[in-house]
Amino acid sequence: MITVPVKAVSSNQAGVLKAGNAQSNNLNFGDILKESLNKIDSDINGASTTFNTLIAGNADDYHQFLIDTEKTAMTLQLTLQIRNKAIDAYNEIMRMQL
């Protein structure tokens, strides 16, 4: 078995990591959520377009249609699970006594 030693992070690299994290912190939760929902919407529209093209007989790429459909289904399921967790968290906060 070959083992590779872990190298120490230099101060220059640590500064780059902190700068990268600072840029990602400038986005707020609402912007990230809006961007994600827009991407999900475009994925659903893309799968719908692929389906319509396939049904019309203009496309022979049945495998890509299946891949797009499954990606869209999985993304939608993940979105619903995130929504359910957010609602559960909200309900739990509302049950707290002050």
pLDDT value at position 92? 95
Q: Give the residue, 77 or 14, on which the prediction is more confident.
A: 77
Residue 62, Cα to own-chain centre: how many angstroms? 25
Q: 33-48 in b/e burial notation, b at 16+ Cβ within 10 A? A: eeeeeeeeeebeeebe
Which domain covers residue 61, as residue numbers? 28-95
46 close to 68: Cβ distance less than 8 angstroms:
yes
In a domain, 62, yes or no: yes
pTM, full prediction: 0.59
In a domain, 21, yes or no: no
In a domain, 2, yes or no: no
Phi/psi at 78 (5° precision): -65, -40
In a domain, 42, yes or no: yes
In a domain, 74, yes or no: yes
Residue 31, Cα to own-chain centre: how many angstroms? 13
**CA–CA distance from 47 to each of 19, 33, 35, 57, 77 (Å)?**
37, 21, 18, 15, 15
pLDDT in tens, 46-93: 888 888 888 888 877 788 888 888 988 998 899 899 999 999 999 999
pLDDT value at position 17? 45
pLDDT value at position 12? 56
